[in-house]
Amino acid sequence: ELKVEQNPLFLSMQEGKNYTIYCNYSTTSDRLYWYRQDPGKSLESLFVLLSNGAVKQEGRLMASLDTKARLSTLHITAAVHDLSATYFCAYTGTASKLTFGTGTRLQVTL
Amino acid sequence: DTGVSQDPRHKITKRGQNVTFRCDPISEHNRLYWYRQTLGQGPEFLTYFQNEAQLEKSRLLSDRFSAERPKGSFSTLEIQRTEQGDSAMYLCASSLFQIGQVTQYFGPGTRLLVL
């Protein structure tokens, strides 16, 4: 069974701190996606990582991909309250469908 | 607004009733996907179309579920004889299937509550 595991499932962090969310997936894939979801809202695309060693950055978020380890990370630098949301990683294998992780609920506190 | 749109945004129905949801993808996108998301979980794939052809259906999609994309533009998802377990957010996404284009863009979702 194809699986995507994220950890932690819940993260409470103070503003200004750094942290990393981990995403392990169970199949060979060179396409890894990160999405953000605010409560009651739909999913917003953050990053698409297309090859081993890919690194992308947008503001305080940076995502990386290690296809050999089947691991992607989402690093948060100097968190701010606006980053509070649930973050999902997902991959596509040979099919085009996205297989999502369970999500990491991030809460940034003052 | 040129994003993915879904209608209705909310639907409350009684068990046993039929419901139909509509998704309008981004206009030039040839692929359209349906996902279902229950509370506290990630979205789960249901089915997808390339143009009007339905290319894959999940085992989650029981016989009570049917999806169409008759002209390769908008799509409908129908649930017959709804059950309480069908309560979820139904998300539609679209993408342009060509080299270099891989992102799926999601609509706002239809939240279904079956009483």
**What mean pLDDT comes out for the span B23-41?**
94
**What mean pLDDT comes out for the span A64-69?**
91
pLDDT value, residue A52:
83
- Quickly state the pLDDT bin for A1 (edges 50, 70, 90): low
Is-contact A71 A24, C-beta < 8 A?
Answer: yes
Of B55, B58, B109, the CB nearest to A42: B109
Show which of residues 72-91 on chain B sit within 8 Å of chain A, judged by CB atoms.
91
Q: Chain B residues with CB inside 8 Å of A33's CB?
A: 103-104
Show which of residues 16-75 on chain A sit within 8 Å of chain B, judged by CB atoms.
31, 33, 35, 41-45, 48, 50
- Which stretch of A89-93, B37-41, B87-91 has the lowest confidence by average pLDDT? A89-93
Q: Chain B residues with CB inside 8 Å of A41's CB?
A: 108-109
Pair of tokens at residue A29 = 């894939």
**What mean pLDDT comes out for the span A86-97?**
85
What are residue B86's phi and psi, to 5 degrees?
-80, -10
What are the pLDDT digits (tens) for B54-102?
A: 999 998 888 999 999 998 899 999 999 999 999 999 999 999 887 666 7
For A7, A20, A21, A109, the CA distances from A62, given in Å and listed in that order, are 16, 9, 10, 20
Q: Chain A residues with CB inside 8 Å of B95's CB?
A: 96
What is the identity of the amino acid at B50? Q
pLDDT value, residue A53:
85
